[in-house]
Structure 1
Amino acid sequence: MRNNFDAVRLGLALTVVFCHLAVLSEVAVFQPFLRFLSADFAVKGFFVISGCLVTRSYLRSQSGWDYAEKRVRRIYPAYAVTIGLAWLIGMVATRLSVANYINQPAAYKYLAANAAFLNFLQPTLPGVFEQHAVPALNASLWTIKVELCLYCCVPLLVGLFRRIGAYPTAILAFCVALLWEEALPHVPHITPRMVTELARQFPGVIHFFTLGAVFTMVEHKLGPKLGWIALVSCVAFFLLRHHRTGSLIEPLSYASSVLFAATGLPLQISAGRWGDLSYGTYLVHFPIIQLFIHLGVFQWNPWLGLAALLLIILGAAFVLWHVVEKPLLKRNSHYVAAKIVNYEKGRS
Structure 2
Amino acid sequence: MAALQERFDPRRNAFDLLRLSFALLVAVGHGIANHTGDQPRIGLSTIGDFGLDGFFVLSGFLVTRSWCTLTSFPRFAWHRFLRIMPGFWVCLLVVAFVAAPVAALLQGMSPLQAVTGTPSAWRYVLENAGLLILQYDIAGILAATPHGVSFNGALWTLALEAFCYAVVGVLGALGLLRSRPVLVPAAAAVLLVLTALQEAGVPVLLDERVIRLVLVFLLGATAYLYASRIPLRRDLAAAAAGLFLVSLALFDDFRVLGAVPLAYLILWAGTCFPWPWSMRTDLSYGVYVYHWPLQQVLVLTALGDAPTGVFVPVTIALTVLPAAASWYLVERPALRHKNSSLPDRIAARLAATRLRRP
TM tier, shorter chain? 0.7 to 0.9
Q: Which amino acid aligns with 1:247?
A: R
Cα 1:125–1:331 change in 2 (3 A) is closer
Deviations 1:254-307 (A, max 9, x none): 21121112112222255x14x011011001000001111011314257666555
- Residue of structure 1 in register with 2:178 after alignment: 162
- Residue of structure 1 in register with 2:303 after alignment: 297
- Residue of structure 2 in register with 1:25 after alignment: 35
Out of 331, 341, 347, the residue aligned to residue 325 of structure 1 is 331
Deviations 1:10-56 (A, max 9, x none): 000111111111111129xx978989982111101111100111111
Deviation, 1:240, is: 3.5
The whole-number CA distance in structure 2 between the counterparts of 1:319 and 1:215 is 33
Out of 219, 230, 237, the residue aligned to residue 230 of structure 1 is 237
**Partner of 1:98: helix, strand, or coil?**
coil
Out of 163, 167, 170, the residue aligned to residue 153 of structure 1 is 167
Cα 1:98–1:67 change in 2 (3 A) is same
The whole-number CA distance in structure 1 between the counterparts of 2:54 and 2:241 is 14
Q: Which amino acid aligns with 1:138?
A: N
Cα 1:97–1:251 change in 2 (3 A) is same
Cα 1:32–1:214 change in 2 (3 A) is closer
Deviations 1:66-104 (A, max 9, x none): 000111011001111111111121111125423443123
- Residue of structure 2 in register with 1:175 after alignment: 190
The whole-number CA distance in structure 2 between the counterparts of 1:82 and 1:309 is 17
Q: Normalization by structure 2: what TM-score?
A: 0.78
Cα 1:21–1:250 change in 2 (3 A) is same
User: Larger % of helix: which?
Assistant: 1
Cα 1:86–1:224 change in 2 (3 A) is same
- Residue of structure 2 in register with 1:132 after alignment: 145
Which of structures 1 and 2 has the larger relative contact order (alpha carbons within 8 angstroms, sep 6+)? 2
Q: Which amino acid aligns with 1:57?
A: S
Deviation, 1:143, is: 0.6
**Partner of 2:62: helix, strand, or coil?**
helix
The whole-number CA distance in structure 1 between the counterparts of 2:252 and 2:40 is 27
**Partner of 2:299: helix, strand, or coil?**
helix
- Residue of structure 2 in register with 1:252 after alignment: 260
Deviation, 1:205, is: 2.6
**Partner of 1:74: helix, strand, or coil?**
helix
Q: Which amino acid aligns with 1:93?
A: A
CA contact (8 A) 2:28 2:312 kept: no
Q: Within the alignment, does 1:286 sit opposite 2:285 as a pair?
A: no
- Residue of structure 2 in register with 1:90 after alignment: 100
Deviations 1:193-231 (A, max 9, x none): xx7xx2112x55322111111222232332534x44433
For structure 2, the 5+ residue unaligned runs are 1-8, 340-358
Q: Within the alignment, does 1:64 sit opposite 2:73 as a pair?
A: yes
Q: CA RMSD in A?
A: 3.1
The whole-number CA distance in structure 2 between the counterparts of 1:212 and 1:314 is 28
The whole-number CA distance in structure 2 between the counterparts of 1:223 and 1:112 is 47
The whole-number CA distance in structure 2 between the counterparts of 1:104 and 1:208 is 40
Q: Normalization by structure 1: what TM-score?
A: 0.80
- Residue of structure 1 in register with 2:203 after alignment: 185
CA contact (8 A) 2:283 2:323 kept: yes
For structure 1, the 5+ residue unaligned runs are 188-194, 334-348
- Residue of structure 1 in register with 2:226 after alignment: 218
- Residue of structure 2 in register with 1:346 after alignment: none
CA contact (8 A) 1:15 1:37 kept: no
Deviation, 1:322, is: 1.0
The whole-number CA distance in structure 2 between the counterparts of 1:208 and 1:240 is 15
The whole-number CA distance in structure 2 between the counterparts of 1:162 and 1:283 is 34
Cα 1:99–1:69 change in 2 (3 A) is same
The whole-number CA distance in structure 2 between the counterparts of 1:68 and 1:141 is 20
Q: Which amino acid aligns with 1:174?
A: A
CA contact (8 A) 2:223 2:230 kept: yes
Deviation, 1:236, is: 2.0
CA contact (8 A) 2:247 2:256 kept: no
Deviations 1:126-164 (A, max 9, x none): 131111122210000011000000000113455444233
The whole-number CA distance in structure 1 between the counterparts of 2:197 and 2:307 is 46
Q: Which amino acid aligns with 2:300?
A: H
**Greater CA drift, 66-75 or 238-247:** 238-247
The whole-number CA distance in structure 2 between the counterparts of 1:306 and 1:14 is 11
- Residue of structure 1 in register with 2:354 after alignment: none
Out of 100, 112, 115, the residue aligned to residue 129 of structure 2 is 115
